[in-house]
Amino acid sequence: MNQPNHHQIATYLTDHALSELVKYVMEDTGCSIEQAMERVYNSPVTTLLQDEEGELYVQSPAYLYEMMCADKL
């Protein structure tokens, strides 16, 4: 069986983090999933997460959410 490569791991972790961020936005604001997705995907966090060299994807979704809310990204 093949081991996942770096890109596959990064993609999985990024997708997971984005999914969790959407859930956090929905829980905190009471907005719809569409509104939460728009907020997350229009946030700088999405661009930074997709940069594999930056390795921000290894951080926990909770940490990323705190950074996103504090506008530190």
Q: Which candidate, 61, 26, 34, 32, places its Cα nearest to that of 46?
A: 61
- The per-residue pLDDT for 29 is 95
pLDDT at res. 52: 87
Model pTM greater than 0.85?
Answer: yes
Sign of CA dihedral 58, 17, 72, 52: positive
Number of C-beta neighbours around residue 49 at 10 A: 24
Looking at residue 72, its pLDDT comes to 47
Low-confidence ranges of the chain (pLDDT < 50): 72-73
Rounded CA-CA distance 62/71 in Å is: 14
CB 73 within 8 A of CB 43: yes
Angle in degrees, CA 24, 26, 27, rounded to 5: 65
